[in-house]
Amino acid sequence: MPDSTILLLLAIVFFGIAYLSASVGLGGGSCYTAVMAAFGLPPLSIPLISLTLNLVVTSASSYQFIRHRHASWRLIVPFLVTSLPMAYLGGSLHLPKQWFYGLLFVSLLVVVCRIFLLRSVQVSWKITGAKRIIVSLIAGSVLGFVAGVVGIGGGIYLVPLIIILGLGNEKQAASSGAIFIWLNSLTGMISRLQHHEVDILNYLTLIFAVFFGGILGGFIGATRLQPRTMQKILGCIIIVALILLIPRFY
């Protein structure tokens, strides 16, 4: 278990991340994972903690999307068919420390590119029929596996992918992203609890921090910052964490 001072500092940082993430319909898993890795938390614990925090933050948004019937199950189910078993598989693996850091580094680098290089999702390729199903199945399997292994829920990839491929509108993409994160986080978390010895109760401080941050971000959302600006702030946090993560390879 990490030092109580480190946990308190992480709780403060995670509160802010959860607020920003919930405000733009994300869980914040990429940021939690990056920061914990930079702080030197055990690689075995990081994915489980991140998946748990993802689950907490996206619970309210997923419920609201379903309640108000914004969720398109026809859109999200093909992704879930492959993502859920792959999230379970990823959560059961015992990767060597260097492999974990390598996959985490690449995943976070893709997130940064997504935030800063893909500034707006204006390109749209309409795919239908069998192609739609095949793409959804492949994307779901990749994102589910990453969720289980490193604790990144995948919503930050899925939402723009849905829009680019013309699979749904922005509201449907956002709702699909929240539900996708929630279900894959739950599956990965269950797998990790079954296959790894990590006491999640040691990290209750972090869970409470993201719970209240997510509630404020999801229900108040009253900030002068634009969604794009908030995503850039999250991206900057990940960049700093990536830099601090480099020494972990040696």
Query: What are the boundaries of each domain within the chain?
Result: 4-249
Query: pLDDT 10s per residue in the chain (250 long)?
Result: 567 888 899 999 999 888 887 776 677 888 898 899 888 888 888 999 999 998 888 887 777 677 777 778 888 899 999 999 999 999 998 888 888 888 888 888 888 887 787 655 555 566 677 888 898 899 999 999 988 998 887 877 888 788 777 787 777 887 888 888 889 999 999 999 998 888 888 899 999 999 888 888 766 654 555 667 777 877 888 888 888 888 776 6
CB proximity list for 219: less than 8 A, separation 6 or greater: 60
Q: How far apart are CA 139 and CA 12, in angstroms?
A: 34
pTM over 0.85: no
What pLDDT is stored for residue 12 in this prediction? 93
Give the three-class secondary structure for 123: coil
Q: How far apart are CA 167 and CA 127, in angstroms?
A: 7
Residue 188, φ and ψ in degrees, nearest 5: -65, -40
What pLDDT is stored for residue 42 in this prediction? 87
Token representation of residue 119: 């500034």
- The answer to whether the Cα torsion of 48, 24, 161, 236 is positive or negative is negative
